[in-house]
Amino acid sequence: MISAFVFDLDGVITDTAEYHYRSWKRLAEEEGIPFTREDNEQLRGVSRRESLLLLLKGRVLAESQMQEWMERKNNYYRQYLKEITSADLLPGVQAFLTETRAYGLKIGLASASKNAKDVLNGLGIMALFDAVGDGYSVSNTKPAPDLFVWVAGRLDLPPDRVVIFEDAEAGIAGALAAGMYAIGLGPAERVGKAHVILPDLRDAHVQALLDRLPATPR
- Pick the closer one to ligand BG6 by CB: 2 or 5: 5
When asked if residue 88 is in the footprint of Mg ion (CB under 5 A), the reply is: no
When asked if residue 111 is in the footprint of ligand BG6 (CB under 6 A), the reply is: yes
Contact 109, 33 (CB under 8 A): no
Active site residue 10: yes
How far apart CA 26 and CA 191 sit, in angstroms, is 30
How far apart CA 160 and CA 162 sit, in angstroms, is 6
Give, in order, the Cα–Cα distances in Å from 61 to each of 58, 65, 143. Answer: 10, 6, 25
Contact 162, 4 (CB under 8 A): yes
Give, in order, the Cα–Cα distances in Å from 125 to each of 31, 108, 128, 186. Answer: 37, 12, 6, 23
Selected binder of ligand BG6 within 47, 107, 123, 155 (CB under 6 A): 47
Alpha-carbon torsion angle 211, 213, 214, 216, nearest 10: -120
Among the listed residues 8, 88, 146, 167, the single catalytic one is 8
Selected binder of ligand BG6 within 48, 106, 190, 195 (CB under 6 A): 48
When asked if residue 159 is in the footprint of Mg ion (CB under 5 A), the reply is: no
Helix axes 48-56, 17-30, angle to 10 degrees: 50
Question: Which of the stretches 44-52, 57-65, 80-88, 196-204 binds Mg ion when contact is defined by CB under 5 A?
Answer: 44-52
When asked if residue 100 is in the footprint of ligand BG6 (CB under 6 A), the reply is: no
How far apart CA 173 and CA 6 sit, in angstroms, is 15
When asked if residue 142 is in the footprint of ligand BG6 (CB under 6 A), the reply is: no
Active site residue 39: no
Question: Which of the stretches 38-46, 86-94, 196-204, 208-216 binds ligand BG6 when contact is defined by CB under 6 A?
Answer: 38-46
Catalytic positions are 8, 10
For Mg ion, the binding residues (CB under 5 A) are 8, 10-11, 45, 167-168
Residues that bind ligand BG6 (CB under 6 A): 9-10, 20, 43-48, 51, 74, 111-115, 135
